[in-house]
Structure 1
Amino acid sequence: MLKIIFDIIMLLIVVNGAPIIAARVFRTHAEQPVDLGVCLSDGQPLFGSSKTWRGLLAALLFCALCGPLLGFTMLFSLVFASLAMTGDLFSSFIKRRKGLAPSDQCLGLDQLPEAFLPCIYAVAVTGLPWWWAVLLPLLFMLLELLVSRPLYWLKIRKRPY
């Protein structure tokens, strides 16, 4: 059971780290926003400029390639990545409605939706007890908060949170 838990956390790291790595590697190439710049009646973008097709595709690709190395099928990994990116887009949508900029910090909202949705799926497929669907996202959030500042110091993240 410990291996499955570790592997799910690793897959969360991969899927959420892939867009950051892709942005560093490709810089301004393929940075078309997922929302195509559409603004809603509140004057705010649907998701914002930081949610790009490059990042979405990187998350799907990295997860599909790394998942099997962790013992998951490619299909499982693609569904997992799709759910993580759905959660990430949902949190960006909510942040825009609250008037927050793309990189503004919103504790919990920045970490939990992108981890909770794929963890519900992973727990259902792997047969882990249901409470892991709650605990794994909380562990991921803690881990992300712990590594955020060092990643900023290493110039991997743009902000220290």
Structure 2
Amino acid sequence: MEATPMQPWPIAQMLILLALANGTPVFAKKILDGRFSRPIDGGLRFFDGRPLFGSSKTIRGALLAILMTTAGAPLIGLDWKIGVLVGILAMIGDLLSSFIKRRLGMASSSQASGLDQFPECLLPVLACRGALALTLLDILAIVLLFFVGEVLLSRLLFRFGLRDRPY
């Protein structure tokens, strides 16, 4: 049996959409400051008395992330529905990370390497694997590149004052 080669363009397409989904809230926070920054959880607390997600997860960030991935998908040759799917699932993954971090007693916007990257990357990638004909090797490459890219880009954005703290 012959090994299936990695597919650079579908890998790049997923990384671009993931960057849009995860970068848009960061830029929106800097551009819009505190405007329109209502927390998704509305200040609700879970049974443990801790915030459901935390104040840094805003409706503004989630909506803009979904809009940007929806608009970005056709620009890189994908159906807009793929953009919607990536945006929604990246935000669900991000919320899942925040939910878990709150249960672990970590403060909002605190860092948890791996937990901060994998759910928001893996959920959309797995959902799009059929539409983009992603192989297991492609998926592993996307997850690894996203993780490394997020860490490196985070430090760069911090250095330029666009991010409050680096990963």
TM-score of the pair, normalised by structure 1: 0.96
3-state secondary structure, aligned to 1:11: helix
Match of 1:66 among 55, 67, 72: 72
Cα displacement (A) at 1:4 = 1.4
3-state secondary structure, aligned to 1:49: coil
2:18 corresponds to 1:15: no
Find the counterpart in structure 1 of residue 4 from structure 2. none
Cα displacement (A) at 1:26 = 1.2
Match of 2:163 among 130, 153, 157: 157
Bigger Rg, structure 1 or 2? 2
Whichever residue aligns with residue 149 of structure 2, its letter is L
2:75 corresponds to 1:98: no
Percent identity, aligned pairs only, is 41
Cα displacement (A) at 1:142 = 0.7
Segments of 5+ residues of structure 1 without an aligned counterpart are none
3-state secondary structure, aligned to 1:125: coil
**Which has the bigger relative contact order, CA under 8 A and spacing at least 6?**
2
Give the paired residue count.
161
Whichever residue aligns with residue 124 of structure 1, its letter is G
Whichever residue aligns with residue 118 of structure 1, its letter is P
Segments of 5+ residues of structure 2 without an aligned counterpart are 1-6
CA-to-partner distance for each residue in 1:67-101, whole Å, 9 max, x for gaps?
11011111111011111111000000000000101
Find the counterpart in structure 2 of residue 26 from structure 1. 32
Which ranges of 4 or more aligned residues in structure 1 deviate by more than 3 Å?
none
Cα displacement (A) at 1:149 = 1.3
**RMSD (CA atoms):** 1.1
How far apart are the structure 2 equivalents of 1:114 and 1:128?
A: 17
Cα displacement (A) at 1:113 = 0.3
- 8 Å Cα contact 1:14-1:63 kept in structure 2: yes
- 8 Å Cα contact 2:20-2:69 kept in structure 1: yes
Report which stretch shifted further, 120-129 or 49-58: 120-129
How far apart are the structure 2 equivalents of 1:72 and 1:141?
A: 23
Report which stretch shifted further, 87-96 or 117-126: 117-126
Find the counterpart in structure 1 of residue 54 from structure 2. 48
3-state secondary structure, aligned to 2:130: helix
- 8 Å Cα contact 1:123-1:132 kept in structure 2: no
TM-score of the pair, normalised by structure 2: 0.92
